Amino acid sequence: MNAIFPTGFTAPTALYLSLFAVTLVLHAVFMHYVLAGSTYLAFGRLMGPRRCAVCGWQSILVDWLPFATGLAITAGVAPLLFVQILHGREFATANLLLSHRWMAILPVLIVCFYLLYLQKSSWLARRRWVWRTVVAALACSGFIFIAWSWTENHLLMLDRDAWAPLYESGALRYASPGVLPRLALWFFSAFPTLAIELVWQGRLLGLDVTRPPAAAEVVLGLSPVRRLALAALSGVAGMTAAGGLYGQTLTAADREALFGPLGGPWLTIAITGLVVQGGTWLAAAFCNRMPHGLGVVTTIGWLATLCGLVAARESIRLVHVDIATLAERHATAASISGFPVFLTCAALTVIAIVWCVVAVRAGLAR
């Protein structure tokens, strides 16, 4: 634990830790879009039909949230696999303790998924506005419930002393002071992600914020880029507050991992990224546009925050498990053949996916 994550462990452990962290970042890229996007939409709907019609972000979200949800689920499968190689026993135990409550995320996910498609339907468009608000609010609440369940499950994994009493009590809820601030941290961290993703997506779909806004795009006195800046800056502020609160609930060992050589550098990267994002979004709000260069810097800041957050998160978990014992399991896992097949297929799949996008763009251009 005296070297930066994920070094300082045996090679197999470092390999699985890296694969888990990378795929979790990928999951977060889409999961954040869904979590913050559905919240943005639910709040946006409160502005009424005329204003919503002007807000290009809401149209993009209505259109793309179902696909993003599909991607969030698909991207979630890989860390789900690797977390079981790394911490299979703890993960399964927390799942089992939360039992029906945990399994509830699945029907909720199905309902939310269909609610997102419903938002795109002409059937809902013909109903009264309030129904669109209700549908958006329900979808958003469902995703928050799912996020809460993942957070609760994660914290329960780490708290071995709670397992037996929780099982005996039959309670399906793990009440820990860390759950709410941690959930808030994830929730708020989703907004800077959404904001920068919308910047790039908007460019592809014709909502370009590098140019000064047209008067017709202004809603409640805010141009499109300022609406994104507001979301991103609220996220940055919320993350800072939630992070501070969450820090209070950490044990001394957790803090040592977080601030020591294992997680400290990553925490620094995450905070630096956050500062960068705060600065660039303030600048964008001030200039009322997000020039290309500023967008690139914001993206780098955002990626730094996300990667730093995920690595710091794992550093804390590592003090709760006997990594030396688990290293044996990881060595066994790594001795099983198949890694080259995975790497080859992953590379081919990436090529095929890129080809799909290029071919579709070319096809549409024709």
Partner 1 sequence: MVVGGLSVACDIMTPLEHYPVVDLGPLMKGLAIGGLGIVHVFLAQFAIGGGLLLFCLQWLHMRGGCPLARRFIDGYFKVLVLVSFVLGAVTGVAMWFTSIQVSPRTIGVMVLEFHWVWATEWTFFCLEVVSGYLFYRYGPRLPDATRLRLLGLYAFASWMSLFWINGILSWQLTPGGWLENHDVWTGFFNPGFLPSLLFRTISAAAIAALAACVLINAVPGFSREDRASLVAVCARPLVFMLAMPFLGAWYLGVMPADSRGWATGGNVPMTLFLSMAVGSSTLIGLYAIVAILRQRLFVNGATASLLLALAFVATAGGEFVREGVRKPFTVRQYLYSNSIARDGVAVLRARGSTTDDPYPVRDAASYANEQLVLGARVFRAQCSVCHTLEGVNAVVELAGGWTIEQRRINIAQLQRTKPFMPPFAGTPEELEALVQLIGWIAAGRPTSWDLSNDGRVLDDIRRRMDEAGTGPGSPTATLAVHLREGPQDAGVRPDGPP
Residue 322 interacts, among ligand HEM, partner 1, none and using kind-specific CB cut-offs from 5 to 8 Å, with partner 1
Residue 172 DSSP code: S
Smallest distance from ligand HEM to CB 76, Å: 3
**DSSP string covering 207-240:** --SSSPPPGGG-BTTB-HHHHHHHHHHHHHHHHH
Q: Return the residue of 15, 97, 185, 239 that touches partner 1, per CB under 8 A.
A: 97
Which residue number, 88 or 264, has a Cβ lying nearer to partner 1? Answer: 88
289, two tokens: 């546009």
Q: Are 72 and 31 in contact (CB under 8 A)?
A: yes
- Is residue 11 a contact residue for partner 1 (CB under 8 A)? no
d(CA 67, CA 113): 9
Nearest Cα neighbor of 5 from 84, 65, 86, 63 is: 86
- Is residue 357 a contact residue for partner 1 (CB under 8 A)? yes
Which residue number, 7 or 332, has a Cβ lying nearer to partner 1? Answer: 332
Beta bridge partners of 222: 219
217, two tokens: 């795009």
Residue 206 interacts, among ligand HEM, partner 1, none and using kind-specific CB cut-offs from 5 to 8 Å, with none
Q: Return the residue of 98, 147, 166, 276 that touches ligand HEM, per CB under 6 A.
A: 147
- Is residue 95 a contact residue for partner 1 (CB under 8 A)? yes
Residue 72 interacts, among ligand HEM, partner 1, none and using kind-specific CB cut-offs from 5 to 8 Å, with ligand HEM
84, two tokens: 């079981």
Nearest Cα neighbor of 56 from 40, 75, 35 is: 40
Beta-carbon contacts of 271 under 8 Å, excluding residues fewer than 6 positions away, are: 308
Q: Are 316 and 254 in contact (CB under 8 A)?
A: yes
Give residue 217's identity as a one-letter amino acid code.
Answer: E
Which residue number, 83 or 326, has a Cβ lying nearer to ligand HEM? Answer: 83
Which residue number, 175 or 356, has a Cβ lying nearer to partner 1? Answer: 356
Nearest Cα neighbor of 149 from 98, 114, 107 is: 98
Which residue number, 227 or 313, has a Cβ lying nearer to ligand HEM? Answer: 313
- Is residue 123 a contact residue for partner 1 (CB under 8 A)? no
- Is residue 325 a contact residue for partner 1 (CB under 8 A)? yes
Residues 53-72 that bind partner 1 (CB under 8 A): 67, 70-71
Which residue number, 83 or 276, has a Cβ lying nearer to ligand HEM? Answer: 83
d(CA 239, CA 184): 7
Prior bond of 12 cis (ω within 30°): no
Q: Return the residue of 33, 143, 191, 302 that touches ligand HEM, per CB under 6 A.
A: 143
Cα separations in angstroms, 32 against 7, 187, 303: 28, 8, 13
d(CA 216, CA 82): 48
d(CA 366, CA 363): 5
How far from chain centre, in Å, is Cα 199?
A: 17
Question: What mask, x for binding partner 1 by CB under 8 A, covers residues 155 to 174?
Answer: -----xx-xx--xx-x----
Question: What mask, x for binding ligand HEM by CB under 6 A, covers residues 222 to 261?
Answer: ----------------------------------------
Q: Return the residue of 35, 97, 199, 290 that touches ligand HEM, per CB under 6 A.
A: 35
List residues binding partner 1 (CB under 8 A). 67, 70-71, 73-78, 80-82, 84-85, 88-89, 91-93, 95-97, 99, 102-103, 106, 109-110, 113-114, 117, 160-161, 163-164, 167-168, 170, 321-322, 325-326, 328-329, 332-333, 336-339, 341-342, 345-346, 348-349, 352-353, 355-357, 359-360, 362-364, 366
List residues binding ligand HEM (CB under 6 A). 24, 27, 31, 34-35, 69, 72-73, 76-77, 79-80, 83, 143, 146-147, 150-151, 154, 182, 186, 313
